[in-house]
Structure 1
Amino acid sequence: MIIFLLILLLLVVLILNAFFLYIQQRGSKALGSQAPKVKMDEGLEESTKKFLEKTKEEWQIKSSYNGSKLYGWFTNNNAHVTAILVHGFGVDHNSLNVHAQLFDKLGCNTLQIDNQAAGKSEGKYLGFGYIEGLDLLDWIKELNKRKPDQKIVLFGASMGAATVMLATRNDLPKNVKLIIEDSGYTSAFDILSYHCQKRYHIKGKWLINGISLMSKIRAGFSYQQANCKKALEQNKLPILFMHGKNDFTVPYKMEGKLSTCGKFPKKTYKSLGVHIRSYYVDSINYQSAVDNFLKMYL
């Protein structure tokens, strides 16, 4: 009987570890990271191409979380405001080139980073915003060391949006002035539950809790620690919530759950776009919302 139970326990551990690797290992496609094909509004491709031709400084830091080497690219616009752009799940900094172009157009310097386990950066596991949020603190410190007296804007998309929201759990430097989140989710547990039901037609509460335990053992955090709603309850920074009503990667209903959390200055922008593609199809209104938010709180 004891041998049977030990074998059963070992089998459960192996299954949970396999799910953990499927979900959090570098290159994971567990949340369907293939970007939707959406035609950009006229002029966006050309202006993004011009932005990419600008000289970029490659920066490197060491994660205080686990020692991984992390890379970022700084575009100097000779401004007193720098936007740090945090990308989403299963992609790298290039996924936000068009958004970096927007901040450049609005007169900001930009720092595009590769998260842990993405692009050029080291790291084995994706952190659903928890690990990335701690690394973001390191990037802010690096920016303040290299470019003192900057006002800082945090922009994140999808998991990057979760990252910038989760970063508010910490005591951010006073020169971090505002946050813009595009298509962020309420928590790691919520988004995994949603995809379990949407993609695999199962209610995976116990499974996700088990994988969360494996994440705690192997990656150092549980899914309960990646809870944006709890983070926002303590937040004081102004936040612009930007979501598309046709987003089926992060369901649009999560926007309402996020924007009603906490007591802090907040604005909302809504489009008919799909996941992280509002700017592609509604560029005039999207740019206006960002521009007005910057002018209001910088």
Structure 2
Amino acid sequence: MRKKNLFVSAVLGTGIAGAVLVSEYLFKFAFKRVDYVPEAAADKQKYADSYWKYVEWFKKTTKEHWTFSIDNEKESMSAYFIKAKSSSPNVVIISHGYKGNGETMASYAKMFYDMGYNILLPDDRGHGESAGKYISFGWLDRLDYLRWINKVIDRIGAKAKIVLFGVSMGAATVEMLSGEDLPPQVECIIADCGYSSIHEELTYLLKQQFHLPKYPFYPLVSTINHRRLGYYLDDISSIEQLKKNHLPIFFIHGEKDDYVPSYMALENYRATNAAKELWIVRGASHAESYWINPAEYKKHIEDFLDKYFI
């Protein structure tokens, strides 16, 4: 990060042209696909042994590979379906975090598998085995998830009962999905540490990681995104989508999250008028709530589902 900040500082010395170059750099840094999963943050390294055991379980488990094609892409969207141990209409669709993929959600998949669920683990646009040159931070992904939902219903039948679950960017994805016209088979949503909007998240990270102001960089990055992906960043809002939500939703967030600050959980919670619950996990950093106490995490989710997943 120090080298990146030195680069940004050097280019800024050239004025307006420098601001445009820095914005292009920031766009590529944040939005361009990366064909590998970055190493876990230092505070998550202590969970590495457990994490890799879940990944090993995922790799050994019998899976179905699902795909569909999207416009202007040679490759397809990709997801893996894990059938429940016993016949069940219950399905959880799990949305992964930024620069992750379905495999990185193996711990959550195993948790729901042990609860008797069928599991669908998509790779989002610009991630894993799915198509896409750029990361859409949940905005285009929400539309892809509508297609995954329909494929689940085709596979399980009209009796399917679906939970949407996501962590970090995945949480924002299912929050954004909540504002769409969802089929009745989707019964509730669980969102762990999702951001309230890309405007809030990127301006926060500009300051925290790059020590840069919102202007002129955020508007320039937004304009670049519009040229590449067809929409401005202010379109990407969990809050605005949650205002249209009618499904029960459970918000989870780490108290000490310094990547997606916990005040965003409150913004998202206040945005929806649907049945809702909020759990701020004491001492947890970003996406750490499960790892601090997996049994307690599972119990909170089971309690929520006992109320709303009928």
Per the normalisation by structure 2, the TM-score is: 0.85
Higher relative contact order (CA 8 A, sep 6+): 1
Residue 282, structure 1, aligned to residue 293, structure 2? yes
- The equivalences for 1:1-298 within 5 A come to 15-27=22-34, 34-35=40-41, 36-40=43-47, 49-50=56-57, 52-63=59-70, 69-77=76-84, 78-148=87-157, 149-271=159-281, 272-298=283-309
Q: Distance in 1 between matches of 2:178 and 2:296?
A: 27
Q: Distance in 1 between matches of 2:174 and 2:152?
A: 16
Q: Displacement, 1:61?
A: 1.3
Q: Deviations over 1:13-56 (max 9, x none)?
A: 55543332222000299xx8844425349988757654553211
> Do the aligned partners of residues 200 and 54 (structure 1) sit closer, same or farther apart at CA in structure 2, a change above 3 Å counting?
same
In the alignment, is the contact (CA less than 8 A) between 2:238 and 2:268 conserved in 1? Answer: yes
Runs (5+) with no aligned partner, structure 1: 1-7
Q: Displacement, 1:63?
A: 3.1
Q: Distance in 1 between matches of 2:261 and 2:250?
A: 18
In the alignment, is the contact (CA less than 8 A) between 1:114 and 1:121 conserved in 2? Answer: yes
Runs (5+) with no aligned partner, structure 2: 1-14
Q: Describe the SS at the equivalent of 2:280.
A: strand
Q: Displacement, 1:84?
A: 0.5
Q: Describe the SS at the equivalent of 2:46.
A: coil
Q: Quick one: which amino acid aligns to residue 253 of structure 1?
A: Y
Q: Deviations over 1:65-107 (max 9, x none)?
A: 9675111111100321110011111111122110111111111
> Do the aligned partners of residues 181 and 21 (structure 1) sit closer, same or farther apart at CA in structure 2, a change above 3 Å counting?
same
> Do the aligned partners of residues 44 and 24 (structure 1) sit closer, same or farther apart at CA in structure 2, a change above 3 Å counting?
closer
Q: Distance in 2 between matches of 1:11 and 1:73?
A: 43
Q: Describe the SS at the equivalent of 2:173.
A: helix
Q: Deviations over 1:193-237 (max 9, x none)?
A: 111111112222431112111111101222111111111111101
Per the normalisation by structure 1, the TM-score is: 0.88
In the alignment, is the contact (CA less than 8 A) between 1:188 and 1:226 conserved in 2? Answer: yes
Q: Describe the SS at the equivalent of 2:135.
A: coil
> Do the aligned partners of residues 246 and 172 (structure 1) sit closer, same or farther apart at CA in structure 2, a change above 3 Å counting?
same
In the alignment, is the contact (CA less than 8 A) between 1:245 and 1:274 conserved in 2? Answer: yes
- Percent identity reads 29
Q: Quick one: which amino acid aligns to residue 205 of structure 2?
A: H
Q: Distance in 1 between matches of 2:152 and 2:224?
A: 34
Q: Displacement, 1:276?
A: 1.1
